[in-house]
Amino acid sequence: MHGLKPVPRMGNKPDFRQDAVAASEALLAQHGQAADTSFCLRNEGGQEVFRGVKRRLLTLAVLGIIGILIGGMIALWLKFAGATSESDEWRKLAIAGAFSVSGFVLLFTQLKMFRGIVRNHVRARLEAAGENLDSLSGIHVTLENAATADVAKILPEDAGLLFLQPQDRSVRIEGLTHRYYIRADDVMDVLLSGGQVQHSSPRVRIAYRIGNATSLDISLAVDSTMKQVGYSLSGKAPALFDQVRACLRKKESPGSAPELGDPLDQFDQTT
């Protein structure tokens, strides 16, 4: 169970994972390290870190948007008011361009900073637990509540590193705020959502059970702007989908059909 321990609840704001966390903590308290189940557990201090990161990144995002807007307003003013000379026109265009470019730089800096913060915190946590992140092949992902994954957000609900563990037929996600361990035997479905059909970036949706009475439905996307744009434009399924699906495929008895349904009915894979 990878050295799991329950973490006290932080705050009273409802969280889509709260039932999953409660079930995971109950199973851990009852069975200890022998608990043979998938789970979702809070990271100690993770919510505080996330709130601090969110404040900094929101500030950068606002400044970036303001810069872009100022650049656009200067350009519009120049278009309607004109310039006193050619040199004056070029000077105002340069100012407008500087504001706009600076705004875009701040927006991209925000994304890069977020990924760096996530990786550094995950690395510190794993190293404190005796693991070497350099020896693991983690995939940067963002994580959302599958029910609200299509709602636009400045920041995802969690982000971290996903580790494929085919030898155990499991997937492990070390997030900034939570840890997720998903066994193939507990998986209810692995689907593709979004994509060209829904005019959004494709995501990998995983629904899994925690114990006998609780389930969690999450949506994952590769944390790479260029890859997301490429998948959206091409209509191709992200490599992450095939990797996760192969890792979580249930054992099949001879002559039986796969237990995971075909998810490609809701996703356009034409190239």
Task: Give me the pLDDT at residue 261, please.
Answer: 46
| Residue scoring higher pLDDT (257 or 22) | 22
Over residues 18-27, the pLDDT tens digits come to 999 999 999 9
Over residues 130-171, the pLDDT tens digits come to 887 776 778 989 999 999 988 888 788 999 999 999 999 999
Task: Give me the pLDDT at residue 117, please.
Answer: 87
Task: Give me the pLDDT at residue 173, please.
Answer: 97
Q: Are 207 and 259 contacting, i.e. CB atoms less than 8 angstroms apart?
A: no
Q: Find, among 162, 207, 203, 189, the residue nearest to 250 by Cα.
A: 189
Domains in the chain: boundaries? 18-44+137-251, 51-113
Take residue 217 and report the two structure tokens written for it. Answer: 């439905």
Q: Are 59 and 83 contacting, i.e. CB atoms less than 8 angstroms apart?
A: no
∠ CA(265), CA(220), CA(108), 5° rounding? 120
Distances (CA, A) of 145 to 118, 194, 207, 263: 19, 14, 11, 18
Task: Give me the pLDDT at residue 175, please.
Answer: 95
Over residues 35-51, the pLDDT tens digits come to 789 999 999 888 888 88
Q: Are 218 and 182 contacting, i.e. CB atoms less than 8 angstroms apart?
A: no
Q: What is the mean pLDDT of the chain?
A: 81
Q: CA 214 to CA 271: how far, in whole Å? A: 38
Task: Give me the pLDDT at residue 262, please.
Answer: 44
Task: Give me the pLDDT at residue 70, please.
Answer: 95
Residue 11: pLDDT above 70? no
Over residues 82-115, the pLDDT tens digits come to 888 888 889 989 999 999 999 998 888 887 888 8
CATH fold of 18-44+137-251, please?
A: PH-domain like (2.30.29)
Report which residue type is found at 268: D
Over residues 193-226, the pLDDT tens digits come to 875 444 457 889 999 999 999 999 999 998 765 5
Task: Give me the pLDDT at residue 252, please.
Answer: 64
Report which residue type is found at 4: L
Q: CA 65 to CA 70: how far, in whole Å? A: 9
∠ CA(54), CA(176), CA(3), 5° rounding? 160
